[in-house]
Amino acid sequence: MAGYAPDHFMTELGFDEVVFDPDRAVARRLHSVGGQAEYRIVRADGRIVSVVDACEVIGRVVRGVLLERPLEQTASSDSSGSQLLGRIPLVTYIDRIEAGTRSRIRLYTSPQVFLLIGHTPDEILSDATLWASLLDPSDERARPLGDTLPGRILRSEYRMRARDGRTVWVRDEACLYGDDSGPAEYVYGVVRDISEEHAAEARTRLAGTRDTLTTLLNRSAFIEALSAQIEEARRLDEDVSLLLVDLDGFKHINDALGHPFGDRLLIAVARRFERSFRAHDVSARLGGDEFAAVLRGVSSENASRIAREIAETLEAPFQLDGRQVTITASIGVASLAARPASTEVDLMGLAEVAMYAAKRRHCRVVAYENGLRTAINGRPDFSRLGEMQSGIERREFVLVYQPWLHASDGKVDACEALLRWNHPFRGTLAPGEFLPLAERAGLIRELDLIALDSACQQAEAWRDSGLKMRVAINASRESLLYEEYSDRVAAALSRHGLLGPEIEVEITEQGILGDPGQAARFADRLGRLGVKLALDDFGIGYSSFAQLRELRVSTLKIDQSFVRGVLAHDKDAAIVETIMSLGHKLGKDVVAEGVEDLETLNRLRVLGADYIQGYAVARPMPAEELGPWLAAYRAPASDEQTPPKLLTRRRKGLAA
């Protein structure tokens, strides 16, 4: 109201200075006898406002309420000071400090204390121990008073137990009063109920640690809990075991019955999962269809037994929406005893290795043991989860760029950004060596966003150097389903000062099949930004022509399995010709990828490819090498004298 800090009013002089000079006598008289009066105060900004002051005088303390009076109103003659005081949502109190003991004796407390804790002022004043007995002993207000210098301001927040058993959080603000020559004699304070503020803060904290779908702990909160459990287990010389659970075939259920049904199934799984543990065990949903639990004081052998019981529990049919659904789980178990020096990330990696072994062996549960390694699609699992998370933090994931040759004029004005992992021990890893694990671990979207921002940053650098180069960026199916991906694209464009047509987003044909409607919405959101959408690996996903017609796609990229066979296999050549004809008639560019030799390049030129991508043009290269490569590159001459073995029509004929 007045625009001053609360400390300004901690002395009588401080308030006296605020009162408008002609009205100062009215305010002083009111504060000496109590009652109600109207006068004017001067705000901190210099504005003069009228106020109604209703107060009572208790010893040396003036307790009251100050209300600003709107200019069009006058103070109501029948509004008594006590009526106004009764509206104050605060408990005021006066304590006397016992000399030499620093203990406090309550002299006065206002009637609002009954609304706060269910005890009347008379009860508080007649029982000197009652107020203190209601305080939570672990909170700040229950501690000794400390020094008692006059003018000291006391501020604290603490819990009280109300008569009906409720826990009430309060904020207590008080000032010590006394002669300047000695210690303070009185504490004048105000107590306010802040339970709702604490509840709101608790809800906010909970939202940051809980999975929004299942209400189990989320990944980040679980990793913190796992770290704490490992530390406590080491302190107590106990074992600690980690269970990593992955649902088998959940994707097929999700695709067949829809995401809403899949979400309800995950909720039902979560309820069964959390009921399988002790009260102090920690369970979580890490993302997707992956769950985890940490069991302190449980050996690997006993954890494996518990894991088998959980697997059996999850295999019991679920009844949802009138359907009976059965699902199985693969569970990996890892214990601290197997690797005593393990961190939480290490233990997660060991459990993941065991979980993949369970999937490969088609058994419910596998416990990690030294020497155990798993494989993804037959390849050694070199990219464990812990290494991948560390690699993301250390920015080991980088982009290389493979140029697209414009078939008609031999120019290069576009390229594809391809992700690589510069592993500190295993060298440069191609996507096939780490993307499967990233998908399983729920990290694929994070890699997509790394690629998006890095590619936009590079496009900005090329543009600023005078090089015009459209950059195609790969996005996974998970990003296609991620509603906020288009927002991240818009933010990246804005951050780097790019226009939508300066980048292109690629998704695979198979990626759109699970949810064509979502794919259409994804394409529309990008289209509103001016960003083109390319359909990668086209020809192997069996998209219907209706989907292709409705989807807002600008570019078709023919899968390299067909491109490589155009010279040797009639069927491959026919498929390539059909895709090019279809694409051009629908007004889309067609890119032939995986072109490895000049003869295939020339054949695809004749067939009407718009762009050529592959080793016949250039291998993927770091961004800093693209400029020098462009300066030296000369496109191969078009081999017009070599007739196609099967097809003689040129693109002009196809477009007719």
Query: Which pLDDT value is given to residue 566?
Result: 81
| Every domain of the chain and the residues it spans | 6-82, 91-198, 211-381, 386-655
Query: Which pLDDT value is given to residue 274?
Result: 92
Query: Which pLDDT value is given to residue 560?
Result: 81
Separation of alpha carbons 619 and 467, rounded Å: 19
Dig out the tokens for 653 from the structure.
């004929």
Separation of alpha carbons 633 and 463, rounded Å: 19
Query: Which pLDDT value is given to residue 399?
Result: 96
- Which regions in the chain score pLDDT beneath 50? 12, 71-82, 84, 374-383, 542, 544, 640-656
CATH (one of 3.40.50.450, 3.30.450.20, 1.50.10.10, 3.20.20.450) for 386-655: 3.20.20.450
Residue 4 C-beta-side C-alpha neighbours within 13 Å? 17
pTM of model > 0.85: no
Q: Count other Cβ atoms within 10 Å, centred on residue 207.
A: 10
- Bridge pairing between strands 555-558 and 589-593: parallel
Query: Which pLDDT value is given to residue 450?
Result: 94
Separation of alpha carbons 408 and 612, rounded Å: 10
Which is the CATH superfamily of the domain at 211-381? Reverse transcriptase/Diguanylate cyclase domain (3.30.70.270)
Which is the CATH superfamily of the domain at 91-198? PAS domain (3.30.450.20)
CB 55 within 8 A of CB 35: yes
φ, ψ for residue 458 (rounded to 5)? -70, -40
Separation of alpha carbons 448 and 495, rounded Å: 17
